Structure 1
Amino acid sequence: MRHALEIARRGPATGPNPRVGCVLLGPDGVVLAEGWHRGAGTPHAEVAALSDAAQRGASVRGATAVVTLEPCNHTGRTGPCSEALLAAGISRVVLSVPDPNPVAAGGAERLRAAGVDVETGLLADEGRELLGAWLPSVERGRPFVTLKLATSLDGRVAAADGTSRWITSEVARQHAHGLRGEVDAIVVGTGTALVDDPSLTARNAAGELRGHQPLRVVVGHRDLPAAARLHGPGGELVQVRTHDPADVLATLAQRDVRHVLVEGGPTLAAAFLTAGLVDEVHAYVAPVLLGSGRSALADLGITTIADALRLTTRSVRPLGPDVLVVATVDPHTPQEH
């Protein structure tokens, strides 16, 4: 299973489908074949492993399939993996994580009904970690939302005169570009788009566009000027003419977006937080004090410390002179005030 998890990571971390790995074992425990999902529209990991076995000339009848996610039981762009395993004569399936998608789930039941020995939950924590944002996105029925903040020690994102470049260091900004390259969409409000004129691209240290460019999403009713940098090279530009975060996520879900990065500004960030639609916060904090200027968040409606929105710190990482704090929001924590 650890090897299945390892090869699954070769697949794309972005897109509508999960990363999945599959290893086929003979009765003596020898690896017969392996496969992983390479992206939407390509064979699923189980079918890729069966194809690999055919190319090697290995018989898989009576073999064990070790797979990181429950084999699907529906026909989408490809056929059901449960049926492919049955047709190949697989006698045992060991899986890490049950499929939470009601459309695709049921593979384990189908296999058991056909007499296949099915075991679930092997290295389940590692399996869930591998699935990243895809898993909570499916479980919650909406894209997973990461809120990114880049602030001074006193929580400012711009000085009193509006200048904001640069509060954080080059090291922190490069790390943030890496985060952009791991999400399906970047979301900003029209205020940020008009004032900061961002490009919202994912670039490497040399300033070149990375291979994956997320959708660039602007939320609000105002039009962007023709000369805006958002009209330049990068991911597709989408304007969602609403102020309702739930509407934004619903629109992006229709585009098969699984992971959204909300980058600003303070009004949009506060809107997502008060709507209870933030799952995780990445806060890049620089050892800088401004004393005044624009705050990282607009009013959350919190008037007493007892109502403070408290997050769970997952990691603290130095980035040059700065620090990255990654914290999660308890999905059961009320965020509306």
Structure 2
Amino acid sequence: MRRALQLAALASGRTSPNPLVGAVLLDRQGVLVGEGFHARAGEPHAEAMALAQAGERAGGGTLVVTLEPCCHHGRTPPCSTAVINAGIRRVVIAMADPNPQVNGGGIAELRAAGVEVISGVGAAEARELNAAFLHRLASGRALGILKWAMGVDGRIALSNGASQWISSPAARHWVHGLRSRCDAVIVGGGTVRADNPLLTSRGRRRPEPLRVVLSRSLDLPNEARLWDQEVAPTLVAHGVEAPPRARFQLDERGVERLLLPSCTPAALLVALAQRGCNQVLWECGPALAAAALADGAVQRIAAVIAPRVMGGTPACTPVGELGFTDLSQVPSWRSREPQLLGSDLLWQLENR
């Protein structure tokens, strides 16, 4: 199962709206004869790859897979039928698939055909691997990660607004990898105006993640690197109050627009989930970061802390006003083990 989980992780950020799945196939003697992982939506599933690699040696063998085999016709045929037809004797599953189209149906179909099914092996690791997929199914929203870089004194910019570069090259390289594992990267209009960001993985992922601008009134610059659609796709989400002229200008540039009835972080994550996004990255300014946190649109935080004392006003902090008046109101996040990125410290948190 550890090997199957490793295989599944190879496609991190590339399978949406599907989950990450890895499979290992052992013959009657316990010898590995096939393995595979789901690389992208529409491409063969992990079980199909392992079965194809094993061929006739699959008969009487054991399939170890990180997620319950599907039992419905989607873009690919049902894996449960393929497993049964291959003569597999035993299937070891990390966790059931909560997708309503499966939800135990694959396990039931295998058992009805006389296949022994063992479930729950490596379940905690499998749930962590597919946390974003599971969150989208349960909540109807994409899982949100909020990332920022700051000095050790909590500042994200100097008093004059200068902010490039606070973090080290190693930390920026890590961020590019994080973007590659996300389906979309989100900023607000203020970040577009101030930083003119590119928001790509710098080639770590093909295609690049969707670049999203959340702007209630479409107060956006005429020239911006985000408008170059050859680099990566860009979506601008806005509210009903956005003026027609600003909408027309985006249409003229060939930038996709999304009208949100309620221009909020939560509404945006619902819309992105409906587009098949499992996981998104917030790389926004303090005001939008606070709004995303208050709206329940952030499940994880990635804070890069550089060994710099920058000084300046409290306004240059990563999160704006959240309205707390007593420390008892402030939620506590679960901390992961901090790690070094060059000279910087990466501190990752997740909500409890």
TM-score, scaled to structure 2: 0.86
Q: Counterpart amino acid of 2:184?
A: A
> Measured at CA, do residues 90 and 18 of structure 1 come closer, stay the same or move farther in structure 2, by a change above 3 Å?
same
Pairwise CA distance, 1:223: 4.8
Q: Are 1:229 and 2:241 an aligned pair?
A: no
Residue aligning to 2:21 = 20
Identity %: 45
Asked whether the equivalents of residues 274 and 300 of structure 1 are also in contact (C-alpha less than 8 Å), the reply is yes
* Corresponding position: 1:216 with 2:238: no
Q: Which moved more, 1:310-319 or 1:288-297?
A: 288-297
Partners of 2:157 and 2:310 within 8 A in 1: no
Rate the CA distance shift 1:162–1:6 in 2: closer, same or farther, 3 A. closer
Which moved further from structure 2: 37-46 or 154-163?
Answer: 154-163
State yes or no: 1:290 paired with 2:311.
Answer: yes
Per-residue deviation at 1:256? 0.8
Task: Tell me how far apart the structure 1 counterparts of residues 303 and 225 of structure 2 sit (CA, whole Å).
Answer: 25
| Mapped contact 1:25–1:31 kept (Cα < 8 A) | yes
User: Paired residue for 1:143?
Assistant: 142
What amino acid is aligned across from residue 197 of structure 1 in structure 2?
Answer: N
SS at match of 2:199: coil
Does residue 276 in structure 1 map to residue 296 in structure 2? Answer: yes
RMSD: 1.9
**Is the counterpart of residue 317 in structure 1 residue 339 in structure 2?**
yes
Work out whether residues 286 and 319 of structure 2, in 8 Å CA contact, stay in contact via their aligned partners in 1.
yes
Q: 2:243 aligns to what?
A: none
Following superposition, the deviation at residue 209 of structure 1 comes to: 6.8
Asked if structure 2 preserves the Cα contact closer than 8 Å seen for 1:148 and 1:263, the reply is yes
Q: For the structure 1 residues 320 and 6, does the alpha-carbon distance in structure 2 shift closer, same or farther, using more than 3 Å as the test? A: closer
Unaligned runs of 5+ in 1: 331-337
- Name the counterpart of 1:253: 273
Offset, 1:189: 0.8
Q: 1:6 maps to what in 2?
A: 6
TM-score, L = length of structure 1: 0.89
- Pairs within 5 Å for 1:148-159: 148-159=147-158
Offset, 1:90: 1.9
Residue identity in the other structure for 2:329: D
Q: 1:109 and 1:210 mapped to 2: Cα distance?
A: 37
In terms of mean alpha carbon deviation, does 18-27 or 94-103 score higher?
A: 18-27
Number of equivalent positions = 323
Alignment partners' CA distance in 1, 2:5 and 2:54: 19
Note if contact 2:140-2:270 (Cα within 8 Å) is conserved in structure 1: no
For the residue of structure 2 that corresponds to 1:69, the secondary structure is coil
Query: Using the alignment, how far apart are the partners of 1:291 and 1:130 within structure 2?
Result: 40
CA 1:171–1:35 in 2, change beyond 3 Å: closer, same or farther? closer
